[in-house]
Structure 1
Amino acid sequence: MMKDINLNAMNYFEAVARLGGISKAAEELGVSPSAVSQQIRQFEQQFGVLLFRREKRRLSLTSDGERLFQTTSQAFRMMRDVRQAIQRQREARHFILRVSPSFAVRWLAPRLKEFLDLTPNWQVRIDAAPDFSDFETEVVDLDLRYGEGGWSGLHQEPVMHDVVFPMCSPAYLEQLRARSDDPIGQLRQAQLIDSVKTHYRWDFWLARHGVMGERMVYPLRLDRSSMALQLATDGAGVVLESTTLALPELESGALVPLSTAFEAIRFPAYWLVCPARHTNRRIVRIFSDWIRELGAAHDARARDLVTGFGLRIDEQQGRQLPGEEFAAD
């Protein structure tokens, strides 16, 4: 059994056999020749065989010694290779971020090069996934989460708000206006596109505004905001979505508010989340500072856009209707 083998003596034996002499082995190991000789004698006693032939000042391996040397040299070589691989991995700079898919594609990706320019010597991995990280079982530095906060036992900091209101394409809005001058009436006749993983969904919004009725159904239910926004841009209906993801379409005019009669709901939506110990990591601090600055600039840009449309902003704290399911998009 391995516990019965003197690993220190094995190390001395391997060095003597590889270098061809006790003096050379002692020099490499940083010990005296007598210490090497003592370890070799103990090793031979443990195996009960001679490992070296001693002829005057020369040492040569016996057949048993040769068999043992082939095995030990391979084992030590493998251990050295593993040690070097571990050292290279420790010296490499890795940053692993998890972020919700639609936000990753529509908001983060167009800005990511700026962050990469700040960290040219880092290896960056981004997982665009709807599930939050389990920091106890997964190797992840940081989550950029969409939600309302309140994740127990974790450091969390809001870095960006969402501003949500009904929006559609200008052509679809003209169709609705041709049917009714009343925004409520327009909604009753509209095809509603439901982003099922957003924080504020149609059920909450319709109840909040007292817009109820048998026609208030939405046959289009999508689990990605990016798809819902694309359908709305193509004129398929009205979507209740955020300026964070729809900013390019809103600024270009591809999407417009359904009506200024309805206020925009603003709430903290994107959070930096990780174990508190991760905040001491340099790369986490760099990313946090970078996203914090971009988030503040985005919030100001979104607010100016929304007020420019003539919408009133209702500040919220990320509340949901009781019992509603919620997941990252």
Structure 2
Amino acid sequence: MRDINLKATEYFEAVARLGTVTKAAQELGVSPSAVSQQIGMLESQFGVRLFRREKRRLILTLDGDRLFQTTTQAFSALRNARNAITRQRDARALTLRVSPSFGVRWLGPRIAAFAEANPDWNIRIDATPDFSAFETETVDFDLRYGLGGWTGLTVEGIMSDLVLPLCSPDYRDRLRQHGESAAEMLPHARLIDSVKTVYRWDVWLAVNRIELRNIAYPFRFDRSSMSIEMAKQGGGVALDNAHLCRAELERGDLVPLAVDCPVIEFPSYWFVCPPRHLNRRIVRRFLDWITAEAARDNAHTRALLAQAGCDFHQGDVQNMQVIAPNMLQ
């Protein structure tokens, strides 16, 4: 590239695109003689004529047209990149990271309301199972799933899990031929295992004193959204968070397997960031917004489950910390 006169090439591209030296000089902020001088230098370097003059207009020669097709694309791409970088630098941006299932099933249907209330902000959401490395990544905050306790960071509880066995109405009705209690139905059920949830089947069965011989999981998923969809399609019984499938519960696509075992409730979703990030007004605004949204959803979901006859039981977080490590869903 050192043998290519980039300045002369830029002047050539402007003249070829605009049709006259005068217009090119105006765009470039230089004199017409400076433009003509650079064009002459470029023609000398290539050893060919790039323009011919016809009735006070410059017309590209065959060689000039070949050079113009290449240079105009290159300079157009550079201008687009420059404009994008400038817009990104000048725009007000909010970047957050969220666990995939929570992002898709809970945050996704609600985030438009926050964006509408804050139209001057660009919002970027990374749905990933990885926590942010705040010292090396440009992320304002995480919405993490787990048991909390991340040292050195501001950690605010957002929402609790409401965990219970869920399945389609038809699948539940088929299992009821063996009885109406969970202990009677589960030995004949296909268990759907969400492998990254805190409260998995082995923990739940132990807490509820239900023993299954030769326990097996015909379906294992690393996303709650997939487990919930499988249960909705009649594929088995999923042990998952009612907050993530409230819409299916409202429509009757999913129902509690049995009401004799309580809904397990424990804090599980957290707003996490370095303390200094809360100095940004938009970060604090988002925290206030999502806390209020979660409270409304919690009241609605609890009422829905209570209407279905479910009781609630506070999960033993201390024991769960021993049984299940922090993981994102």
TM-score by length of 2: 0.71
> Do structure 1's residue 243 and structure 2's residue 237 form an aligned pair?
no
Partner of 2:262: 263
Partner of 2:274: 275
8 Å CA contact retained: 2:259, 2:309: yes
Partner of 1:24: none
> Do structure 1's residue 187 and structure 2's residue 189 form an aligned pair?
no
Structure 2 SS opposite 1:108: helix
Deviation of the 1:84 alpha carbon: 10
Measured in 2, the distance between the counterparts of 1:207 and 1:191 equals 18
Partner of 1:134: 133
Amino acid at match of 2:276: R
Q: Report which stretch shifted further, 175-184 or 217-226.
A: 175-184
Q: Report which stretch shifted further, 182-191 or 261-270.
A: 182-191
Measured in 1, the distance between the counterparts of 2:310 and 2:323 equals 29
8 Å CA contact retained: 1:195, 1:201: yes
Structure 1 SS opposite 2:192: strand
Partner of 2:324: 324
Measured in 2, the distance between the counterparts of 1:249 and 1:220 equals 20
Partner of 1:102: 101
Amino acid at match of 2:195: V
Go from structure 1 to structure 2 and tell me whether the alpha carbon gap of 1:84 and 1:227 turns closer, same or farther (over 3 Å shift).
Answer: closer
Measured in 1, the distance between the counterparts of 2:255 and 2:104 equals 21
Measured in 1, the distance between the counterparts of 2:215 and 2:253 equals 25
1:244-269 CA distances to partner (integer Å, 9 max, x unpaired)? 10111111111111111000011111
Partner of 1:225: 224
Amino acid at match of 2:327: A
Partner of 1:113: 112
Matches for 1:130-209 after TM superposition, within 5 Å: 130-209=129-208
Amino acid at match of 1:327: M
Q: Report which stretch shifted further, 212-221 or 170-179.
A: 212-221
Residue segments in structure 1 that go unaligned for 5+ positions in a row: 1-82
Identity %: 49
8 Å CA contact retained: 1:188, 1:215: no
Q: Report which stretch shifted further, 118-127 or 176-185.
A: 176-185
8 Å CA contact retained: 1:183, 1:259: yes
8 Å CA contact retained: 1:268, 1:317: no
Go from structure 1 to structure 2 and tell me whether the alpha carbon gap of 1:115 and 1:194 turns closer, same or farther (over 3 Å shift).
Answer: same
Measured in 2, the distance between the counterparts of 1:155 and 1:317 equals 23
Deviation of the 1:216 alpha carbon: 2.3
Measured in 1, the distance between the counterparts of 2:321 and 2:275 equals 30
Partner of 2:4: none
Amino acid at match of 2:208: H
Amino acid at match of 2:229: Q
Deviation of the 1:324 alpha carbon: 3.0
Amino acid at match of 1:94: A
Question: What is the total number of aligned residue pairs between the two structures?
Answer: 248
Deviation of the 1:296 alpha carbon: 0.8
Go from structure 1 to structure 2 and tell me whether the alpha carbon gap of 1:212 and 1:278 turns closer, same or farther (over 3 Å shift).
Answer: same
1:53-86 CA distances to partner (integer Å, 9 max, x unpaired)? xxxxxxxxxxxxxxxxxxxxxxxxxxxxxx9998
Structure 1 SS opposite 2:328: coil
User: For the aligned residues, what is the CA RMSD?
Assistant: 2.1
Measured in 1, the distance between the counterparts of 2:293 and 2:314 equals 21
Partner of 2:121: 122
Structure 1 SS opposite 2:124: strand
1:185-219 CA distances to partner (integer Å, 9 max, x unpaired)? 21111110011111110010011122223232212
Measured in 1, the distance between the counterparts of 2:227 and 2:85 equals 45
Structure 1 SS opposite 2:151: coil
Partner of 1:62: none
8 Å CA contact retained: 1:160, 1:298: no
Measured in 1, the distance between the counterparts of 2:293 and 2:301 equals 12
Measured in 1, the distance between the counterparts of 2:244 and 2:97 equals 17
Amino acid at match of 2:307: G
Matches for 1:57-76 after TM superposition, within 5 Å: none
Measured in 1, the distance between the counterparts of 2:243 and 2:180 equals 29
1:7-56 CA distances to partner (integer Å, 9 max, x unpaired)? xxxxxxxxxxxxxxxxxxxxxxxxxxxxxxxxxxxxxxxxxxxxxxxxxx
Determine which structure has more spread, i.e. the larger CA radius of gyration: 1
Go from structure 1 to structure 2 and tell me whether the alpha carbon gap of 1:293 and 1:324 turns closer, same or farther (over 3 Å shift).
Answer: closer
TM-score by length of 1: 0.71
Partner of 1:25: none
